[in-house]
Structure 1
């Protein structure tokens, strides 16, 4: 019985990863790791998609793809899969400071010029038929590449992005970049930042957009302006989707695929733009993600079966016969306060500037929020505690059990990344391996996450330790308390967006999008806390597991703003958000 969870997790990881691999390689496409360097020496990372039939000297058109801020190359897989299965060579890059690439945010033209040079150097690429596409801040490397090699590309797609934002202001003109398709969600949260219009639906009348299109009247979505043979073609697509949906929906992917099929010549397998299979890859990585959670719990169960670690096993001891009014109030505050304080403390945390020790600006902000809520958790415990919980505390064994549990998931992820070039993800949630360069960053932030998790998980377990509470209700309560506040926050923000075209807090779009991840992640923290406490009568193993996986998740998926290779930069999108 104790093997059941681990076995089920492993089965889901294998099945989901193989499914994702097969979809990613649809039609015989080969996907492999790509490495190159910027002129300054920073190592760059990408995934190179190579269609079949290029071994005999035949060259194919190619597209360079870039993700947005605090994302990675895997986020662009819907575009990559659909272009590659149509016969395009695709390079999905990690921007500088992101994923497996060195440097920091904005350095070396976000890595775009070196990525384009690498793509053009491939012997199976038709150097005269290259397109560039980027989502959000991914417009930075795309436009930097276009500036660096004005004759090195034929078409550009900016998805949820805009010229003149991540580069020189004089980019806002009708002759740059060449043959431009703007794909922008009618509900995009960044409309004011990108195009200076309050709502995405107002984009056709944007003065900035009209300058890019070279027209005086509002731009008509779907109409082609200019002359493709002269490189002045322009088209606006305005699907009714949000910023995160632009790279996770047919409405965002289809226009980009259609534009590249129309502007580049030589694709081996033309298909209708709406013919898309990428969603099955996302289904596979979702299965693997669920499997990773089960493997984590199952590995802890197996660890308790080891002779030395078996001494951690204890039956949970209730702290009170009933929860009482104070206990319910404490649970309510534990659910509400983290979500209520999230936006203010994230904004305050922006003052914690990146440094050599703490180089990730967004992680600094998240920790400012987390540490502030650590203090609030202590206050809740001091003033609303009912009963005195009796916990078992064994630091050495708890630490070893936590490392073994998280290590099992890390090894599984490393294996599927190396063998199949996929990771554990779904939409805005993504677990990727820690690169060698990010291990010191992970270790620097880990003590702070540990402090937060120990206090919060201890407080949660103390509130859940009620005599006679059912197992199912305890799990539901823990998941609801930890993730429920952010669920309400996200629901309010997006209900307002869909009703009015504006977020409830329209000046903080990035932090609202980041908050979407907190719903499942914090619910998982609650589940881990209950699972480990019920088996050990201790909050410590669960707290250490949560600290390890939160530090790993944020460090691997967040951007570095400081590096030894480049001076620190603050792109306009980061400064103004």
Structure 2
């Protein structure tokens, strides 16, 4: 039992050390973080993290910033911006948009939650109401623009990170609105066409739409201030060398926002724009996320040693599965496993958008689209199963597999709860994140978990029939299963981002729906860490049980959790 507990202890220690690093980074210099819920104008519940620097008191109010994440993210995604704003003496309200995180659905409702967020920021007694800044990434930009439109005299400056004024969801801008605007739009942003009507991000300054906002008719010079800060007409365009989601982990992108508020807001604590510590938080929460997976593996190993799960242990060695024979069939199976999922990816998303719009049953549009992809691949796998090597599935393992999967995920839930309660963190690196579900998200989870779990049961059964055998060297075993799961999406993303880097545009295989391609391409990045974790979990559990079922059930429960808490709820 002692040896079996070691891996769980290692995972818990990694989580703790990473969590402490993240916690002390985001509270550096005496910053206090409050997890708040407040009621919007229409009775809707809103959620935010409030970062309060020590200089902000009722006697000495500090400047305030409303910081808002983009589509399919949550308030913690703006944490790196919030840390740097708060270190400079600004009170930061990092808002959950409507329908995201812990704010009431629907997404796109209530002005995205922007007016409610700004009203809440202004209600805080330790905030200087004459020095308010607004910052939003992507759809978060439209959120703060909605706030600026609803309360035109309630702020002094605004930063759009990877966002735009105007269609499809924001008020059109002009040389006098919004006030003191910084446009931070990356050189490799996937949404240049949608946001500004620009064929390429690097041609942004030459498009009529942004020139109208700047009040000029010639190409905009990067880094030049147009207009007058005192009159509220100042404009600046900055272009860091990252992608759209890359803004979140870019010293350039964060530095430009910090610098603009330093020029346009009074008060605060002057620091150089390149004096940034947020990366330590990313390292900490990223380590905690890795530690979480290690903790789950250790928990499985620990539980497997209990008498209640003896039936699972009995087939850990021996001829539970016929050994795959190397040769053309195995090579063909590998490449089919690699290539079919990415080939079906964009068509499945397009089909999901048509067949499963948000409804009272399936309330999350993007989760439904991933589900359609999973069901298509489940059907293809079932059709191909007859050509995979014969296996002799162990009997009597269904109930113990389900029990151990539920127990493992329950331990994981407790670990995430403790991280949230004690350290005010979720488990994340960049926008890959796992956090506690809201009640709305938990209800969605109960509906999505069955199809996703069925997908993993079938696909991992096929995977291990093809590539797992007793006595296979561990390094080779893990490498083959992880590569089979991840390589296809790695190739897809490499092709797309290589094309973007070379030409300034993504390849668009879907006609008449330009927004779907960049959105689904960014969502596709999630498959890389998620399927890496699935590969490790399924291989670890197969090696100890000789069955694909325990790992498949754990994967189904975990991945559904990851998906339903990390997206938007579109139906109230």
Contact 2:14-2:288 at 8 Å conserved across structures:
yes
CA distance in 2, matches of 1:168, 1:182: 15
TM-score (norm 2): 0.96
- Cα distance, 1:168 vs structure 2: 5.0
- Identify which range, 550-559 or 56-65, moves more after superposition: 56-65
Secondary structure of 1:224 counterpart: coil
Contact 2:311-2:397 at 8 Å conserved across structures:
no
Q: Deviations over 1:79-135 (max 9, x none)?
A: 100010010000000000001111211111000101111110001000010000000
> 2:53: which partner in 1?
51
Contact 2:50-2:91 at 8 Å conserved across structures:
yes
- Cα distance, 1:467 vs structure 2: 5.1
Structure 1 spans left out of the alignment, 5+ residues: 564-577
Contact 2:56-2:89 at 8 Å conserved across structures:
no
CA distance in 2, matches of 1:296, 1:323: 32
Q: 2:383 aligns with which of 354, 379, 388?
A: 379
CA distance in 1, matches of 2:239, 2:468: 52
- Cα distance, 1:530 vs structure 2: 1.1
- Cα distance, 1:166 vs structure 2: 4.9
- Cα distance, 1:312 vs structure 2: 1.4
Q: 2:372 aligns with which of 356, 368, 373?
A: 368
1:130 and 2:139 aligned:
no
CA distance in 1, matches of 2:303, 2:62: 51
1:353 and 2:357 aligned:
yes
CA distance in 2, matches of 1:101, 1:302: 37
- Go from structure 1 to structure 2 and tell me whether the alpha carbon gap of 1:448 and 1:544 turns closer, same or farther (over 3 Å shift): same
> 2:455: which partner in 1?
452
1:205 and 2:206 aligned:
yes
TM-score (norm 1): 0.95
Q: 1:151 aligns with which of 135, 150, 153?
A: 153
Secondary structure of 2:307 counterpart: coil
CA distance in 2, matches of 1:30, 1:467: 53
CA distance in 1, matches of 2:390, 2:548: 16
Q: 2:547 aligns with which of 535, 538, 542?
A: 538
> 1:547: which partner in 2?
556
CA distance in 2, matches of 1:108, 1:315: 54
- Cα distance, 1:408 vs structure 2: 1.2
Q: Deviations over 1:467-526 (max 9, x none)?
A: 542221111100000011111111111111111211233841111111111012112112
CA distance in 2, matches of 1:37, 1:452: 39
Q: 1:516 aligns with which of 516, 525, 537?
A: 525
Runs of 4+ in 1 over 4 A off after TM superposition: none
CA distance in 1, matches of 2:439, 2:39: 16
Contact 1:392-1:537 at 8 Å conserved across structures:
no
- Go from structure 1 to structure 2 and tell me whether the alpha carbon gap of 1:289 and 1:168 turns closer, same or farther (over 3 Å shift): closer
> 1:441: which partner in 2?
444
Q: 1:486 aligns with which of 482, 486, 489?
A: 489
Contact 1:140-1:166 at 8 Å conserved across structures:
no
> 1:74: which partner in 2?
76
- Cα distance, 1:437 vs structure 2: 2.5
Q: 2:10 aligns with which of 8, 11, 28?
A: 8
> 1:334: which partner in 2?
337
> 1:36: which partner in 2?
38
Contact 2:363-2:571 at 8 Å conserved across structures:
yes
> 1:263: which partner in 2?
264
Q: 2:403 aligns with which of 400, 405, 408?
A: 400
CA distance in 2, matches of 1:452, 1:390: 18
- Identify which range, 541-550 or 467-476, moves more after superposition: 467-476
> 1:108: which partner in 2?
110
**RMSD value, Cα:** 1.3
Contact 1:354-1:361 at 8 Å conserved across structures:
yes
> 2:479: which partner in 1?
476
CA distance in 2, matches of 1:75, 1:230: 32
- Cα distance, 1:320 vs structure 2: 2.8
Contact 1:200-1:501 at 8 Å conserved across structures:
yes
Secondary structure of 2:4 counterpart: coil
- Cα distance, 1:309 vs structure 2: 1.9
1:179 and 2:180 aligned:
yes
> 1:570: which partner in 2?
none
CA distance in 2, matches of 1:321, 1:114: 59
> 1:282: which partner in 2?
282
Q: Deviations over 1:15-50 (max 9, x none)?
A: 000100000011110011011111222211110000
> 2:236: which partner in 1?
235
Contact 1:137-1:166 at 8 Å conserved across structures:
no
- Cα distance, 1:325 vs structure 2: 2.2
Q: Deviations over 1:59-80 (max 9, x none)?
A: 0001000000000111111110
- Go from structure 1 to structure 2 and tell me whether the alpha carbon gap of 1:62 and 1:432 turns closer, same or farther (over 3 Å shift): same
1:429 and 2:438 aligned:
no
Q: Deviations over 1:228-261 (max 9, x none)?
A: 1111110000122110111210111010010011
Secondary structure of 2:266 counterpart: coil
Q: Deviations over 1:308-328 (max 9, x none)?
A: 123211224331362332222
Q: Deviations over 1:425-477 (max 9, x none)?
A: 00121111111222111101111111111111111111123354222111110
- Go from structure 1 to structure 2 and tell me whether the alpha carbon gap of 1:321 and 1:415 turns closer, same or farther (over 3 Å shift): closer
Q: Deviations over 1:179-232 (max 9, x none)?
A: 100000011110000000111000010100000001111111111111111111
Secondary structure of 1:251 counterpart: helix
Alignment length (residue pairs)? 560
- Cα distance, 1:172 vs structure 2: 2.5
- Go from structure 1 to structure 2 and tell me whether the alpha carbon gap of 1:273 and 1:166 turns closer, same or farther (over 3 Å shift): farther
